[in-house]
A and B are shown apart, each in its own frame.
Chain A
Amino acid sequence: EAGVAQSPRYKIIEKRQSVAFWCNPISGHATLYWYQQILGQGPKLLIQFQNNGVVDDSQLPKDRFSAERLKGVDSTLKIQPAKLEDSAVYLCASSSPRDRSEQYFGPGTRLTVT
């Protein structure tokens, strides 16, 4: 089966610009996660979706970050406006309703804010 797809793989923007990342989870996976991984740190959960509903967005900086999963399949994470400290790898993961304990991760999008 195809894995979790993410695009773009790399993005360089200037501070105060906006950026969007796209994720397509594994087919049939109802749960989708967005993580932020800053260099030298482990991933930190930003938001979790169950189908098209938000389960947990407690760590999402809502003043600048937004995410949606309108049709319960693919998802978009947006940052507007970006700050230098947003430079990180943004990982998308999904899990199956049959085994939500195992998350499948995409390759990530490396964002550099200059």
Chain B
Amino acid sequence: AQSVTQPDIHITVSEGASLELRCNYSYGATPYLFWYVQSPGQGLQLLLKYFSGDTLVQGIKGFEAEFKRSQSSFNLRKPSVHWSDAAEYFCAVGAGPHDMRFGAGTRLTVKP
């Protein structure tokens, strides 16, 4: 069965520190993988997506993610976090946008 796990419900990092948000999935084949960000009171915004090819994907706002087939993971990273990055982050997996299953989300708090 298709599933997405984001093990960390809440993460706090200091501004300027590096960030890694974890995402593990269970899927029968190589899925489409997405990371979305949701700021308070706003809809979700796509940060990056992976379908095939280079397993290191660059996204918007300085984010990147690495697909690791052997670990069934698609972790999101940023080398230096800004206060404006505080938000909820969702990993999603599926056969395509019509078939996406979202994780429960990780809430990021940024300390000054």
Which residues of A are in contact with B by a Cβ distance under 8 Å?
3-4, 31, 40-45, 48, 55-56, 91, 93, 95, 100-108
Tell which of A42, A48, A55 has the most Cβ of chain B within 10 Å: A42
Residues of B within 8 A of A104 (CB): 43
Assuming A42-B105, A43-B90, A101-B49, is B97 touching A91 (CB within 8 A)? no
Say which residue of A44, A48, A95, A102 sits within 8 Å of B102 (CB atoms). Answer: A44
Residues of A within 8 A of B104 (CB): 40-42
Residues of B within 8 A of A55 (CB): 98
20 extra A-B contacts, CB within 8 A, seeds A48-B98, A56-B98, A93-B44 = A31-B97, A31-B98, A40-B105, A41-B105, A42-B90, A42-B101, A42-B102, A43-B44, A43-B90, A45-B100, A55-B98, A100-B96, A100-B97, A101-B49, A101-B96, A101-B97, A102-B97, A105-B36, A105-B45, A107-B43
Cβ distance A25 to chain B, nearest Cβ, rounded Å:
12
Cβ distance A10 to chain B, nearest Cβ, rounded Å:
10
Residues of B within 8 A of A3 (CB): 43
In this complex, the interface size class of chain B, counting residues with CB under 8 Å from chain A, is 20 to 34
Query: In whole angstroms, how far apart are the Cα atoms of A40 and B98 in the complex?
Result: 22
Cβ distance B47 to chain A, nearest Cβ, rounded Å:
11
Residues of A within 8 A of B41 (CB): 107
Give 15 A-B contacts (CB < 8 Å), ordered by A residue: A3-B43, A4-B43, A41-B102, A41-B104, A42-B101, A42-B103, A42-B104, A48-B98, A95-B97, A100-B97, A101-B32, A102-B46, A105-B44, A107-B42, A107-B43
Cβ distance A13 to chain B, nearest Cβ, rounded Å:
20
Cβ distance B24 to chain A, nearest Cβ, rounded Å:
14
Residues of B within 8 A of A106 (CB): 43
State whether the Cβ of B27 lies closer than 8 Å to any Cβ in chain A: no
